[in-house]
Amino acid sequence: MQYRGSCHCGNVKFEVELDGKIESALACNCSICQRKGALMTFFARDRLKLLTPDDAMGSYEFNKHVIHHRFCKTCGIQPYSEGVGPDGSAMAALNINCLEEFDVAAVPVQHYDGRSR
C-alpha cells in the first residue's frame, strides 16, 4: 500500500510504500515521544521517499545520538525518525498522525515504556 503525508505547512512531503496496510502504532513515553505525542510505525528506511528537498528538514539527536528525529524547519512538525534496527539495517519510524486521509483511530496503539530504557 502507498501512503502520502506531510508536515503541517507542507514544506516536507513524503510517500511510503509498504507491503500491507498499517496495522499498529507505538506510543512511547520517553522524554521526547511523550512531549510530541507521536504515534509511530516502523519499516525499512528505503520504503520512505521524500518528495521535497532534504534541506527543508532539521535533525535532532539526544541521549545516545543514534536516532535522527527529523522535523520541518518551518512548522516544527516531526513526520519521521531514522535509525538502525537491531539487525543493522536502516529503519524509519513514521508518525502516522502526519499521513493524509488516514484513519488514525482505526489503528491499535501499543504503549511502550521507553522512559525505563
Tell me how crowded residue 3 is: count the other CB atoms within 10 A of its CB: 21
Q: Give the strand pairing for 109-112 and 25-28.
A: parallel
In a domain, 90, yes or no: yes
Domain assignment present for 6? yes
In a domain? residue 64: yes
Q: What is the CATH classification number for the domain harbouring 76?
A: 2.170.150.70
Task: Encode the chain (117 residues) as per-residue pLDDT tens digits.
Answer: 999 999 999 999 999 999 999 999 999 998 888 999 999 999 999 999 999 999 999 999 988 888 999 999 999 999 999 999 989 999 999 999 999 999 999 999 999 998 887
Note the pTM of the prediction, 2 decimals: 0.91
Domain that holds residue 29: 2-112
